[in-house]
Chains A and B, each alone.
Chain A
Amino acid sequence: MTLLSLHDLSVARGPCQVLSGVRAEVRAGEVIGLLGPNGSGKTTLLRAALGLLAHGGSSSLAQMPPRARARAAAWLPQAREIAWGMPVAALVRLGRLPHGPAGAEAAVARALARMRLQDLRARSATALSGGEQARALIARALAQEAPLLLADEPIAGLDPAAQIGCMQVFAELAAAGGAVVVSLHDLGLAARHCTRLWVLHRGRLVADGAPRAVLTPGLLAEVFQIRAHFADTPDGPVFQPLALLGQ
């Protein structure tokens, strides 16, 4: 089942084309890693796909009415904003806004359990550490229980256990029939935990495929200016960036 399809999605900011001609699809069961250097258009792609940004071309999500879209896709922005110190459980419950009150408590409890936040549920959200706040906000997006989750650098700044835990939660969502598009800078985690990778370079989608097929020496040199070691081990694929090129 297709959860998102993008046709020639483009975004211009003044004279500058920040995203051009992106064609892609997301199907149920996928965890798609969205890669690219800073400023390559990852956030712009996700926001335009949701219809939060004026864009050319089309996105299946952007065409939906707001409430229906909120049930079809959850969005986890990169800026981790928590304006008020409400209890963590109340913060997570904000994810239930597009739905009625029915089943809200159960969904909040599931999301808290997934992110291991049960013990913090009554704490004020602004009193948490940065990493705990990030997990609470991920739980908020999970509580929305939309088939598709778009997450913008959700694991930046998390400890290794939380990073792996978060990628595993995404894999579970995909296994349960959903899909996740997650923008990442950690190519190693992307290689291990994503079923597919999209690589953005200067606003264009330059690669779309399985991690092994995408993370080639040529692409790494062209897009990231690095070389890396990629090996298939008994523990799964291992990817380690090694050095900058041209030095």
Chain B
Amino acid sequence: MRYGALLILLGGLVAALFVASLLLGASSLGPRESLVALFSGDGAAGVVMREIRLPRALLGVLVGGALGLSGAAMQGYLRNPLAEPGLIGTSGSAALGAVLAIHTGAYAAFALALPLAALAGAGLAVALITLLAGREGRALRLILAGIAVSALAGSLTALVLNLAPSPFAAAEIVFWLMGSLADRSMLHVALAAPFAAAGALVLLRQGRGLDALTLGEDAAASLGVSLRRLRLGVVLGSAALVGAATAVAGAVGFVGLVVPHLLRRAVGAQPSRLMPAAMLGGAAMLLAADIATRLIAPERDLKLGVLTALVGAPFFLQMIRRMGREGA
């Protein structure tokens, strides 16, 4: 398939799922009245459409696109199909920030305390990683720094859970960590969108450098690519995207790992081409997963992160099996 046709197909898929996400929900509105209410904003139906379903669908696109794009960039940068956007510790640190906001009760007093704390966590992680990763611009130290920061954030999150004052508080944290798009408002969209947009712009500009990295760091540097600037761009861009996504949706796994891998062959394996495709593919996958949470068990509040991981894990195993067979 031609690259342009693939992007149009994925774009159409995202648009269709976006509309489907708008039309599906707890209140029994017909498709026609839903859309009318969305555009007029009148009455109870208008409130449901504009305050509940529209932010949910928008966040589906935003979070999925952010995870798909940053996953493609991270895999391209580390030249490893098993890399995922959380590898450098930003999602773990964002989750830690959010968990602290829940634990201290700050978010009960101020609704945006949670996403803001998550963004602060992601920012702190980036600062720590850039400090640790050295000036040379090589990938290895970045991975090691990321692993260290991830482990630190993970253990601190566990500590907060450990110190939770009551089982209810612990359950609240655990549920948040599973990831969800339910009950989010346009404020969440407005908070996450600027970070996501800035991160996407930064990452999409790294395409040539990531393509050159196919030949290894030395050859890429000899082609005029600045390894330091490339690494900084990948770290900042993916941290902005992952931080924004985690802040509004919690820890949603596997989208960033699976989507780039699913699309790699179709785009001819070039990171510069994979990034836009993975952004659209991630949005489509997340919208589909979020719709599935509403269709499978509408009354049980199934968590989004549970569903993406359920779909993702078998794929991951299959990928490992195939790698074993090819002896790679």
Give A residues with C-beta under 8 Å from B.
Answer: 47, 50, 52, 66-67, 69-70, 73-77, 79, 81-87, 90-91, 94-95, 97-98, 124, 137, 140, 144
Q: List 16 A-B contacts (CB under 8 A).
A: A66-B224, A67-B224, A69-B224, A75-B218, A76-B219, A77-B219, A81-B214, A83-B215, A84-B269, A84-B270, A90-B270, A95-B223, A97-B223, A97-B224, A98-B224, A144-B223
Task: Verify if B255 is at the interface (C-beta below 8 Å from A).
Answer: no
The answer for the CA separation of A50 and B218 in the assembled complex, in Å, is: 10
Please judge, given known A-B contacts A87-B268, A90-B270, A97-B208, whether A82 and B224 are in contact too, CB under 8 Å.
no
The answer for the CA separation of A76 and B223 in the assembled complex, in Å, is: 10
* Chain A proximity of B56: nearest CB distance (Å): 35
The answer for the CA separation of A97 and B79 in the assembled complex, in Å, is: 19
Give chain A residues whose Cβ lies under 8 Å from the Cβ of B269. 84-86, 124
Please judge, given known A-B contacts A70-B223, A77-B219, A97-B223, whether A83 and B214 are in contact too, CB under 8 Å.
yes
The answer for the CA separation of A73 and B224 in the assembled complex, in Å, is: 10
Q: Are B215 and A140 in contact (CB under 8 A)?
A: yes
* Chain B proximity of A237: nearest CB distance (Å): 32
* Chain A proximity of B178: nearest CB distance (Å): 33
Task: Verify if B271 is at the interface (C-beta below 8 Å from A).
Answer: yes
Please judge, given known A-B contacts A66-B224, A70-B224, A84-B271, whether A97 and B212 are in contact too, CB under 8 Å.
yes
Please judge, given known A-B contacts A90-B268, A90-B270, A124-B269, whether A82 and B214 are in contact too, CB under 8 Å.
yes
Q: How many contacts between A and B, using CB within 8 angstroms?
A: 76
The answer for the CA separation of A91 and B270 in the assembled complex, in Å, is: 9
Q: Are B79 and A75 in contact (CB under 8 A)?
A: no
Query: Residue of B at shortest CB range from A77?
Result: B218
**CB within 8 Å of A: which B204-231 residues:** 208, 211-216, 218-219, 221-226
Give chain B residues whose Cβ lies under 8 Å from the Cβ of A137. 215
The answer for the CA separation of A137 and B270 in the assembled complex, in Å, is: 16
The answer for the CA separation of A124 and B221 in the assembled complex, in Å, is: 24
* Chain A proximity of B228: nearest CB distance (Å): 11
The answer for the CA separation of A67 and B223 in the assembled complex, in Å, is: 7
A79 touches which of B213, B216, B271 (Cβ 8 Å): B216
Task: Verify if B141 is at the interface (C-beta below 8 Å from A).
Answer: no
The answer for the CA separation of A94 and B219 in the assembled complex, in Å, is: 10
Query: Residue of A at shortest CB range from B216?
Result: A81
* 7 cross-chain pairs, A with B, having the tightest CB-CB distances, nearest first: A81-B216, A75-B222, A70-B224, A83-B79, A84-B269, A67-B224, A86-B269
Give chain A residues whose Cβ lies under 8 Å from the Cβ of B215. 77, 81-83, 91, 94, 137, 140
* Chain A proximity of B31: nearest CB distance (Å): 42
Q: Are B223 and A94 in contact (CB under 8 A)?
A: yes
**CB within 8 Å of A: which B294-310 residues:** none
Q: 1/0 per position for B57-87, CB-CB distance to A under 8 A?
A: 0000000000000000000100100000000
Give chain B residues whose Cβ lies under 8 Å from the Cβ of A73. 222
Query: Residue of A at shortest CB range from B214?
Result: A83
Q: Are A84 and B264 in contact (CB under 8 A)?
A: yes
Please judge, given known A-B contacts A84-B271, A140-B215, whether A52 and B222 are in contact too, CB under 8 Å.
yes
Q: Max chain B CB contacts within 10 Å: which of A85, A87, A97, A144?
A: A97
Give 7 new A-B contacts, CB below 8 A, not counting A50-B222, A66-B225, A83-B214: A69-B222, A77-B219, A81-B214, A81-B216, A84-B79, A84-B271, A94-B214
Give chain B residues whose Cβ lies under 8 Å from the Cβ of A86. 214, 268-270
Give chain B residues whose Cβ lies under 8 Å from the Cβ of A77. 215-216, 218-219, 222
**CB within 8 Å of A: which B161-203 residues:** none
Query: Residue of B at shortest CB range from A70?
Result: B224
Q: 1/0 per position for B250-271, CB-CB distance to A under 8 A?
A: 0000000000000011001111
Give chain A residues whose Cβ lies under 8 Å from the Cβ of B218. 47, 52, 75, 77, 79
Q: Are B268 and A97 in contact (CB under 8 A)?
A: no
* Chain B proximity of A72: nearest CB distance (Å): 10
Q: Are A94 and B216 in contact (CB under 8 A)?
A: no
* Chain A proximity of B78: nearest CB distance (Å): 9
Give chain A residues whose Cβ lies under 8 Å from the Cβ of B219. 75-77, 81
**CB within 8 Å of A: which B271-289 residues:** 271
* Chain A proximity of B105: nearest CB distance (Å): 47
Q: Max chain A CB contacts within 10 Å: which of B211, B213, B265?
A: B211
* Chain A proximity of B289: nearest CB distance (Å): 27
Give chain A residues whose Cβ lies under 8 Å from the Cβ of B222. 50, 52, 69-70, 73-75, 77
Give chain A residues whose Cβ lies under 8 Å from the Cβ of B214. 81-84, 86, 91, 94
The answer for the CA separation of A85 and B326 in the assembled complex, in Å, is: 14
Query: Residue of B at shortest CB range from A141?
Result: B219
Please judge, given known A-B contacts A52-B218, A77-B218, A84-B270, whether A94 and B226 are in contact too, CB under 8 Å.
no
Give chain A residues whose Cβ lies under 8 Å from the Cβ of B226. 66
Query: Residue of B at shortest CB range from A79?
Result: B216
Give chain A residues whose Cβ lies under 8 Å from the Cβ of B225. 66, 97
The answer for the CA separation of A140 and B221 in the assembled complex, in Å, is: 14
Give chain A residues whose Cβ lies under 8 Å from the Cβ of B212. 94, 97
The answer for the CA separation of A85 and B79 in the assembled complex, in Å, is: 11
Query: Residue of A at shortest CB range from B271?
Result: A84
The answer for the CA separation of A171 and B270 in the assembled complex, in Å, is: 33
The answer for the CA separation of A53 and B295 in the assembled complex, in Å, is: 58
Give chain A residues whose Cβ lies under 8 Å from the Cβ of B213. 83
